[in-house]
Structure 1
């Protein structure tokens, strides 16, 4: 554990609490299992940094990216790769593509080979299901959330009478010795379960084995029902991947359960509506039958009526009882409620319109029926699902793997990433490289070489190169492209080239133009940053510098550049490209030193007033900056008084 820089006491305590041991922590770091570290409680960035610091410490390195700009190139690269990801966990895994120094060649070869295998996998998949299928998979995967056990809301209360100590959150357990009045349980709970160990208890309840599924099937279902959307997504993926076929079966079982339960609840929950309907039928039928009667009263009945007594003829009472009996029978048929309960609805005396009484008692009975149906359906589903809990975590891991492979494969296809040769020695060389940061723009491929490579370019293996040429000709973009390609290779990502040869560097420096910086302070800052790089410290360095001359006057700048180049030439560990418009001046100062000067030439303007330029430098040729072409373009695209000013400037160029 001491080999892991940054693993402090507090972090170790967090990880041990979840992972269990130091060996497990170390194993997770060595295997780059960043998701395991995050699930153990570390923030994503902290987990990535822990793995990064561990790998750097093994290779004796602090950070390969030595300047803000080289770090920014890597950040932009990772951002583009992440744009192909559908899941946040995959985006976190992409952060593990950070550059390794010398010694990491084998690891990066393996990563590049793996990534290219994903590219081929996506190609085959696309041939089978087409771009629409790929997009469908990405849409499904984008909505997937990690399955988590979650307590199920209980619609019906439940109690178990048992002498055994049963541990469950979903069913209250009472020891018989604690129950004073068993009948009160029927009022307090929707469902009363009687354990088989208490079979002597005489109560209107369900005799139940002391079994987890029989007592509380929710203990199994809480792994599945709250994760229905996840299961559905996996079932949708089974259209494309056979690995999810069992998840599709699980979904079908859950769908059947949900449908049956909904139908039963809907059917039984209509009790109020049914009672009202039967009540209306009963009154209509009673009125109809009474209307057909011809009732005659005896003298005695007439006298009693005159005294104010209520007189109900026998024929009327008979019709009333008939209708009530038929109504109760109809309710039993439509609700399934026990007739003993339904009888409680019958009014105590004949009245019109007829109204049922004690409706709440029937509603309570309906809840008991629903509670019984509910647990029966849950038991059936739980029996099927028991033992399948691990399928959820396995399926989630499979979804993660699909998104990871799909994201990297699509990225590799989009930019046509290729296998390149990685060497433990030499320099950098590539043919027809594309800068992926320019995607959406017209990208001219470039070819170039620094140091010794087997690429066959007309060079002599020069490690330090001066790059000259046209304004807006692509010199700065070439530096960025070199850093991008090198960073991709050292991160284990194949570069977008037709052919390439790359050796590894311990440190990568990229300096942009010092725009807006001039004077003694800026000049001193520049020297303090760049000069120490040339010190011989056993490290192999890639140093790319763009237009140093912006911090001081041209004459002095040429001398500074020459001095830096001499220092770089003395250090065999340095490979460098320095962009400058002072090529002629530096060549004179370094005459006989064997420095290579390359150039990017502009040959004029096309019909769209764009520079006609070959973005690949010409080896061994000093190229002019051709500012007159820029002025010419501005002259041709402007109007009015400003056009006259550009014309004056062009006139001075024509005098040369």
Structure 2
């Protein structure tokens, strides 16, 4: 696929361009995949690329590390589990971030409207809406026949190939004989000819003018009709949704759509289905049925003393009735008569001439194919004017499924719409979304925290508005959890979705997250330094969140490296770094722009486990893991000498911490 959605692949026939564009706009990856001849996962990538183009940003431009993009995938997968339709799920999975404040305001307005509409519905109504969504899938487009186009001019072949590709068969006919040969292989045959040209007058050959080859309703009416049929269940679901729920009358998500137009489409499709059912006649079965009826009547005539004249009179009436039933005329009617009377002299049982019925079957099949073509062409012409109304309605329908998924997701996880900030990043009572997910499944209760870096209006006591913060404290104290909370809040905001906090201020900046598991996984100092260098290779402010780096090299050198990173961050960048090397960092950092925060232990519980206050203290070094371990060991030791050793170690550690300016 090409990068831009407005430039489809060169191999894609022109007549499919609109259908592909519609499928992309709907995020209907199950419909898009067969149109492009690719797997559904690849179709998802096509929609993702189109969404990036529409947003004006690529995912990589905003979420600048593998870790941020990994969180994005986890978030949209979690959100998608709340959608009902496959298309609604794909809408979640292909959601892309943006740094455009106007675009985000529009997204948040839609989310608010979706929440408002969802709240207006009671439990029974919500269940009914979800049931409607469940019926609203777009079916695959199915075709019974491949159009066969015949032309007398070779120059027209390339034009037809460009527009229809392999979806049609194109043949050059230069004589009646080649036309007949083609007709024996497939029918109907659309013969491109001018009005004054002499065309072959045979059942199954339909003449169309050259200017009509770009009209899909003439060349490929089945595709047009089947495109509408594939959407019929979704159209019906939308009509029912809008007509049955009064709440929709107050919603901008469902207004300005012509329900009569959608009902007209459904009526036309139902009418076509009835027409097709009425014209479903199997000639061979009909012949056998009439043979049986005629032989039954022949036996009755013989049993009641009738003769050959009586049978012939009945046969005349039967053949006329049969011709009327099959709607035969002209040559086909004559073939039926010849077939009926050819074997008459042979005597019972009566049997139509098989040689004549084979010819009749061939002619009849062509006539039926002709009738089917004109029937589909008529309905295609009548359906096309409603194309825009249908596409608009389906976009609204699947977008509503997406917004209702956001509403349910938001309600279950306690999310709120953030405020867009220009100077700082912060959350009030923020929670790690993935831990909340575990809590909802029966896990431990998540402890909310309030934290900010840079200047915000959140009013968090003690959070000095410096652009960079170093977070200290013991292992398992919640430092990484805080980092993930900030990262998910940023990613959700830039997706235009609510965040896991009571209140949040989020800047629209590129995000760089470096997680400890990445560092452990690579185990390479050089690799990690190259990854961190991306922060400085791109101009402009950003948000940088760094988990512990100290395992990469010896502490003294790592302290100087980390200090250099923090001291040279681009202007207006907001950063939070987790470290245990605060004392190695201290001589080298600029305290005018760097705040040091800490997570404190509150002691040991009855079983000897650490009690940690997960809310960071600002401008304070947190308890170190060695302090907590020594405290725990000392509580279990009775020997005075060993306790004295532990006490001296603790005093040294506390003195070092208290020496922080």
TM-score interval w.r.t. the shorter chain? 0.5 to 0.7
Which has the higher mean CA deviation after the structures are superposed, 558-567 or 614-623?
558-567
Task: Indicate conservation of the 8 Å contact 1:217/1:378, yes or no.
Answer: no
Structure 1 unpaired stretches of 5+: 1-6, 21-27, 160-166, 181-185, 291-317, 633-645
Q: Who is 1:358 aligned against?
A: 353
Q: For residues 626-641 of structure 1, what are the structure 2 equivalents within 5 Å? A: none
Match of 1:130 among 104, 112, 126: 126
Q: Who is 2:292 aligned against?
A: 277
Distance 1:258 1:33 in 2: 27
Closer, same or farther in 2 for the Cα pair 1:492/1:583, shift >3 Å?
same
Q: Who is 2:656 aligned against?
A: none
Task: Indicate conservation of the 8 Å contact 1:109/1:422, yes or no.
Answer: no
Q: Who is 1:105 aligned against?
A: 101
TM-score by length of 1: 0.65
Closer, same or farther in 2 for the Cα pair 1:548/1:346, shift >3 Å?
closer
Match of 1:321 among 309, 321, 324: 309
Cα-to-partner distance string for 1:482-506 (whole Å, 9 max, x where unaligned): 1221233234433232211123335
Distance 1:40 1:343 in 2: 51
Task: Indicate conservation of the 8 Å contact 2:410/2:498, yes or no.
Answer: no
Cα-to-partner distance string for 1:12-34 (whole Å, 9 max, x where unaligned): 987899999xxxxxxx9xxx999
Q: For residues 598-617 of structure 1, what are the structure 2 equivalents within 5 Å? A: 598-601=598-601, 604=604, 613-617=612-616
Task: Indicate conservation of the 8 Å contact 1:475/1:600, yes or no.
Answer: no
Structure 2 unpaired stretches of 5+: 15-20, 151-158, 161-167, 178-182, 244-256, 440-445, 647-661
Q: SS of 1:441's equivalent?
A: helix
Q: For residues 223-372 of structure 1, what are the structure 2 equivalents within 5 Å? A: 223-227=223-227, 228-241=229-242, 243=257, 246-266=261-281, 269-289=284-304, 319-334=307-322, 336=324, 341-342=336-337, 345-346=340-341, 353-361=348-356, 364-365=359-360
TM-score by length of 2: 0.64
Q: For residues 394-473 of structure 1, what are the structure 2 equivalents within 5 Å? A: 394-416=389-411, 417-425=415-423, 427-438=424-435, 440-442=437-439, 443-459=446-462, 460-473=464-477
Count of residue pairs the alignment pairs up: 570
Q: Who is 2:597 aligned against?
A: 597
Distance 2:510 2:116 in 1: 31
Cα shift at 1:530: 5.3
Cα shift at 1:479: 0.8
Cα-to-partner distance string for 1:592-627 (whole Å, 9 max, x where unaligned): 8784322154655699x9976554323344432568
Larger Rg: 1
Q: SS of 1:265's equivalent?
A: coil
Closer, same or farther in 2 for the Cα pair 1:124/1:371, shift >3 Å?
farther
Closer, same or farther in 2 for the Cα pair 1:560/1:505, shift >3 Å?
same
Q: Please, what is the CA RMSD of the aligned residues? A: 6.2
Closer, same or farther in 2 for the Cα pair 1:542/1:345, shift >3 Å?
closer
Closer, same or farther in 2 for the Cα pair 1:80/1:629, shift >3 Å?
same
Closer, same or farther in 2 for the Cα pair 1:362/1:497, shift >3 Å?
same
Cα-to-partner distance string for 1:338-391 (whole Å, 9 max, x where unaligned): 599447524677665443352543565577667667756765675455243142
Closer, same or farther in 2 for the Cα pair 1:174/1:241, shift >3 Å?
farther
Which has the higher mean CA deviation after the structures are superposed, 387-396 or 347-356?
347-356
Distance 1:350 1:580 in 2: 107
Distance 1:389 1:281 in 2: 50
Closer, same or farther in 2 for the Cα pair 1:627/1:120, shift >3 Å?
farther
Match of 1:493 among 485, 493, 497: 497
Cα shift at 1:541: 3.4
Closer, same or farther in 2 for the Cα pair 1:116/1:144, shift >3 Å?
farther
Q: SS of 1:440's equivalent?
A: helix
Match of 1:475 among 473, 476, 479: 479
Q: Who is 2:251 aligned against?
A: none
Closer, same or farther in 2 for the Cα pair 1:224/1:113, shift >3 Å?
same
Q: SS of 1:418's equivalent?
A: coil
Distance 2:221 2:88 in 1: 26
Task: Indicate conservation of the 8 Å contact 2:560/2:585, yes or no.
Answer: no
Cα shift at 1:455: 0.9
Distance 1:257 1:422 in 2: 53
Distance 1:259 1:540 in 2: 64
